[in-house]
Amino acid sequence: MRVRIEASEQLGVLRMRQLTGRIGVSSSTIYDWMNPRSPRYDSSFPRPIKLGVASVGWLVADIQMWIEGKAAKRYCENLISKRD
């Protein structure tokens, strides 16, 4: 399943509130995914970009590719488990 995103949206930046709304997890989960010392660390989760002195955001294209990667991994795991 591939979701089509308009070119103008791919260039967009998501702030934390938008990001949590898009992927359906809390901000604390996102911080855990980014923290190498957390048991929930996810090295594949996109790093934020610095927007200003005290603000960061995530590129829409990076988040979309991460979601698609998760979906592809699940699809492959399902194919493998069906063969066994």
Domain positions in the chain: 8-83
* Phi-psi sector, 21: left (phi>0), alpha (psi -120 to 50), beta: alpha
- Which residue in 34, 30, 5, 36 sits closest to 16, CA to CA? 30
- Which residue in 12, 5, 14 sits closest to 45, CA to CA? 14
pLDDT, tens digit only, all 84 positions of the chain: 455 655 556 689 999 999 999 999 999 999 999 999 999 999 999 999 999 999 999 999 999 999 999 998 877 776 677 666
Query: Which one is the CATH code of 8-83: 1.20.144, 1.10.1660, 3.40.50, 1.10.10?
Result: 1.10.1660
